[in-house]
């Protein structure tokens, strides 16, 4: 994939932006209509026509990468415990779909390679490194290897609220697109991005203003926004001219952009995607 405008964000062709004028990213997959971070949610996002997905990644006790948002498996599976305290076999034995709806019973917590393989050639991906409450486990090197092994280095943007993690990722693979996440309005973001080696700022839509976008543009940084699930927030993103907009309901944004996507397919709206879903 050819970088846009010199490759300030991550490798995409201008035509993936569509009529929205920004890349629409399925946040945790199409997580309004399928259980977040499962293959069902990523498949549904692809069916809805998304050209990019977002996922969260954590390390298991035995050093494997699993796609799950929370530090524990409690909210999104029928098990309990810290992801970092459970081996992959135990996590793979859990049901990651029934909590959302009976139609999704039997969904599993995917490993990162499964998600990368599913989307390769069909969509770009934002991979969010989650390493709280305690960083470690060599997650950065494992993510870099997974992207290389699946041929997804050119189609991925690795991001994290842990900017040190991003610095490590870039030290391992300098060509990777990377983003530093902020949960509030960023200060000194150009210098933070430089220190981390980030190519993009990843901001909550509420933190967005003209100064931040102009500052990022001036520094050659991309601007990725999360999590946009209503028209007002989407219009603001369009007006300010951001690069990527993550939504739990990408089909809504396609409709708002006039792309004529169908109403969400799947079992209908399920529970709110939960903690951290804003």
The residues binding Ca ion (CB under 5 A) are 56, 128
What does 276 interact with, of Ca ion, ligand G3P, none (CB < 5 to 8 A by kind)? ligand G3P
For position 202 contacting ligand G3P by CB under 6 A, the verdict is yes
Of 4, 27, 51, 163, the catalytic one is 27
Q: List, in sequence order, the alpha helices (H) in the chain.
A: 39-47, 88-92, 112-119, 139-149, 163-172, 189-196, 210-218, 231-240, 250-256
For position 72 contacting ligand G3P by CB under 6 A, the verdict is no
DSSP of 81-93, one letter per residue? SBGGGS-HHHHHT
Task: Provide the pairing of β-strand 65-67 with 52-59.
Answer: antiparallel
In terms of CB distance, is 74 or 149 closer to ligand G3P?
A: 74
Residue 219 CA to residue 164 CA, distance in Å, equals: 20
- Position of minimal CB gap to Ca ion: 128
Of 64, 70, 107, 128, the one binding ligand G3P by CB under 6 A: 128
Residue 51 CA to residue 46 CA, distance in Å, equals: 7
Of 100, 104, 205, 226, the one binding ligand G3P by CB under 6 A: 226
What does 163 interact with, of ligand G3P, Ca ion, none (CB < 5 to 8 A by kind)? none
Q: Among 204, 243, 247, which residue's Cα sits nearest to residue 220?
A: 243
In terms of CB distance, is 243 or 263 closer to Ca ion?
A: 243
Size of the site for ligand G3P (CB under 6 A): 11
Name the packing angle between helices 39-47 and 112-119 (round to 10°): 10
What does 181 interact with, of ligand G3P, Ca ion, none (CB < 5 to 8 A by kind)? ligand G3P
In terms of CB distance, is 67 or 111 closer to ligand G3P?
A: 67
CB 36, min distance to ligand G3P, A: 9
Instruction: Supply the Cα-derived Rg of the chain in whole angstroms.
Output: 17
Of 246, 253, 257, 261, the one binding ligand G3P by CB under 6 A: 246
DSSP of 161-194, one letter per residue? S-HHHHHHHHHH-TTSEEEEEESS--SSHHHHHH
In terms of CB distance, is 3 or 72 closer to Ca ion?
A: 72
For position 56 contacting ligand G3P by CB under 6 A, the verdict is yes
Distances in Å between the alpha carbon of 228 and those of 1, 17, 43, 185?
26, 16, 20, 16
**Residue 69 known to be catalytic:** yes
In terms of CB distance, is 74 or 89 closer to ligand G3P?
A: 74
Q: Are 95 and 103 in contact (CB under 8 A)?
A: no
In terms of CB distance, is 46 or 90 closer to ligand G3P?
A: 46
CB 181, min distance to ligand G3P, A: 6
DSSP of 102-116, one letter per residue? GGGTT--PPBHHHHH
Q: Which two tokens stand for residue 137?
A: 């486990």
Residue 19 CA to residue 256 CA, distance in Å, equals: 10
CB 187, min distance to ligand G3P, A: 19
Active site residues: 27, 69
Q: Which residues bind ligand G3P (CB under 6 A)?
A: 27, 54, 56, 69, 128, 181, 202, 226, 246, 276-277
């Amino acid at each position: 994939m050819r970088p846009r405008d010199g490759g300030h964000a991550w490798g995409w062709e201008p035509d993936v932006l569509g009529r929205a004028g920004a890349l629409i990213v399925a946040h945790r997959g199409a997580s309004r209509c399928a259980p977040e971070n499962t293959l069902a949610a990523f498949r549904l996002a692809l069916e809805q026509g998304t050209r990019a997905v977002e996922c969260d990644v954590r390390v298991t006790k035995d050093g494997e990468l699993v796609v799950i948002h929370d530090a524990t498996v409690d909210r999104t599976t029928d098990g309990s415990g810290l992801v970092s305290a459970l081996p992959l076999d135990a996590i793979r034995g859990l049901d990651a779909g029934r909590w959302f709806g009976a139609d999704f019973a039997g969904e599993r917590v995917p490993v990162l390679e499964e998600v990368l393989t599913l989307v390769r050639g069909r969509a770009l991906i934002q991979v969010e490194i989650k390493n709280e409450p305690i960083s470690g486990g060599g997650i950065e090197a494992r993510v870099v290897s997974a992207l290389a092994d699946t041929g997804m280095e050119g189609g991925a943007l690795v991001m994290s609220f842990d900017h040190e993690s991003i610095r490590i990722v870039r030290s391992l693979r300098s060509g990777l697109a990377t983003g530093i996440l902020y949960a509030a309005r960023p200060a000194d973001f150009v210098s933070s991005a430089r220190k981390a080696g980030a190519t993009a700022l990843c901001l909550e839509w509420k933190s967005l203003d003209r100064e931040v976008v102009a500052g990022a543009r001036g520094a050659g940084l991309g601007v990725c926004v999360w999590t946009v699930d209503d028209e007002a927030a989407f219009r603001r993103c369009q007006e300010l001219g951001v690069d990527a907009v993550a939504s739990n309901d990408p089909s809504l944004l396609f409709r708002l952009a006039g792309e004529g996507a169908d109403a969400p397919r799947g079992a209908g709206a399920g529970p709110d995607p939960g903690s951290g879903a804003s």
